[in-house]
């Protein structure tokens, strides 16, 4: 069965920077399940996975503009600590935190932390980076009507609710 719209696809992946530094992988855990064709992954990545089948391996390189965008200068904002999502024991430069914005919660990295405010770099932590995804397709199945309605995969490796 090929990967097309409305298939639930389970993948193992390894994400690294072009230079080779590994950022994350799920190869030792449960494959991630996503519903194809519903913008659950980066669009350029989904396009590259189209028509693959169970057992296929593919290395996909995405330029920054296809992944998390280019870095913007002047993206530094001073934000009250109470606007951060979740609790942090210590706030240190370089840490990635979630912050509430008028466009929802976003990832940002700390440049400087004070007592009440933090200076955040609002660029996505992966902005400006060329990324390499090494993908192994572990399974492809038809989505249920409910999954298509919800726009995401259910069950192991997918959404639970």
Stretch that binds Zn ion, among 15-23, 64-72, 91-99, 147-155 (CB under 5 A): 147-155
The H-assigned helical ranges of the chain are 43-49, 145-150
Stretch that binds Zn ion, among 4-12, 18-26, 81-89, 145-153 (CB under 5 A): 145-153
Nearer to Zn ion, 82 or 161 (CB): 161
Residue 82 region by backbone torsions, left for phi larger than 0, else alpha for psi between -120 and 50, else beta: alpha
38 belongs to the binding site for Zn ion (CB under 5 A): no
Contact between 104 and 98 under an 8 Å Cβ cutoff? The reply is no
* DSSP summary character for residue 143: P
150 belongs to the binding site for Zn ion (CB under 5 A): yes
Stretch that binds Zn ion, among 12-20, 69-77, 84-92, 148-156 (CB under 5 A): 148-156
CA distances (Å), origin 67, targets 1, 63, 85, 143, 157: 27, 6, 24, 26, 22
141 belongs to the binding site for Zn ion (CB under 5 A): no
Number of residues located near Zn ion, criterion CB under 5 A = 2
Nearer to Zn ion, 111 or 148 (CB): 148
β-pairing, 104-113 vs 117-121, is antiparallel
**Residue that is written with structure tokens 């999502």 in the block:** 85
Nearer to Zn ion, 83 or 150 (CB): 150
Binding site residues, Zn ion, CB under 5 A: 150, 159
């Amino acid at each position: 069965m090929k990967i097309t719209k409305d298939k639930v696809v389970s993948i193992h992946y390894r994400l690294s920077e072009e230079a080779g530094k590994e950022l994350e992988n799920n190869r030792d855990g449960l494959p991630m399940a996503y519903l194809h064709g519903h913008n659950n992954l980066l669009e350029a990545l989904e396009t590259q996975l189209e028509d693959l089948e169970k057992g296929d391996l593919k290395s996909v390189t995405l330029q920054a503009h296809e992944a998390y965008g280019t870095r913007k200068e002047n993206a530094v904002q001073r934000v009250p600590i109470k606007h951060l999502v979740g609790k942090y024991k210590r706030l240190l430069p370089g840490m990635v935190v979630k912050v509430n914005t008028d466009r929802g919660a976003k990832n940002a990295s700390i440049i400087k932390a004070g007592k009440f405010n933090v200076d955040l770099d609002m660029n996505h932590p992966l902005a400006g980076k060329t990324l390499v995804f090494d993908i192994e397709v572990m399974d492809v199945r038809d989505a249920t009507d409910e999954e298509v309605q919800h726009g995401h995969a259910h069950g192991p490796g997918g959404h639970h609710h």
